[in-house]
Amino acid sequence: MLDASEDVMGVITERIEERFQMPLADLLRAVEAAPQANPEAATVVHWYGLLAETQQALDTVEDALVEALGTQPGDVLDDPVMELAHQVNAAVASRDGRAMVVKYLLDPNAPGKRGPGVWRGAAPAARRAPALPTSPPTLPSVHNTAVRGVTR
C-alpha cells in the first residue's frame, strides 16, 4: 500500500511524463543540458525539484514525530513532540502548495493561462467592453437639493 507522500509524488511524476512524453529522468537530464530549449519544461523541473525537497523534509520530520510518539508515556504530548507535530503540518502545507504549483504549470487550461490565441470564457468582443460604466457620474444640482430642516 502506498502512503500519501508516495501517491502525491507518483501522480505528479506521471502527469509530468504524460505532458512532456518522456520519463522524468530523461526530462531532468534534457533540462539540465539545455534549460533554454524549453522554458516551460525548465520551470516544471525547477518546481518539481522544490517539491521533491519539501517531500524529503516532510518524510524526515514525520519519521521523527513517529519516533517521538513511541516514547511518550500517556496521552499528553510534551512540547518537543507538539513542535514536531507543528513541523509536520507546516511541511504538509508547503508540499501541497508546491504540488499545486506543479499541477498548475502542467495544466494548459488553468485559470489565467490561454491556449494558442484563444481565451477561455467570454467572446473577445465581450471582454473588450469596460466592466463598469466609464462616463462621469451626474452630480445633483446644489440649488435643487432640499436639505431637511432648512428653509429658504
Question: What was the pLDDT predicted at 133?
Answer: 59
Nearest to 20 by CA among 125, 87, 110, 102: 102
Cell of 107: 495544466
The two most distant CA atoms of the chain are separated, in Å, by 87
How many residues comprise the chain? 152
Q: What's the pLDDT tens digit per position in 65-118? A: 999 988 877 777 888 889 999 999 999 999 999 999 999 999 988 888 765 544
Question: Helices H, strands E: what count in the chain?
Answer: 5, 0
Q: What's the pLDDT tens digit per position in 7-24? A: 889 999 999 999 999 999
Nearest to 117 by CA among 105, 108, 129: 108
Nearest to 46 by CA among 28, 58, 59: 28
**What are the DSSP calls for 8-26, one per residue?**
HHHHHHHHHHHHHTS-HHH
Q: How far is CA 113 from CA 39, 74, 96, 104, 109, in A?
A: 15, 53, 21, 9, 6
Torsion of CA 11, 13, 14, 17, to 10 degrees: 160
pTM of the model as a whole: 0.69
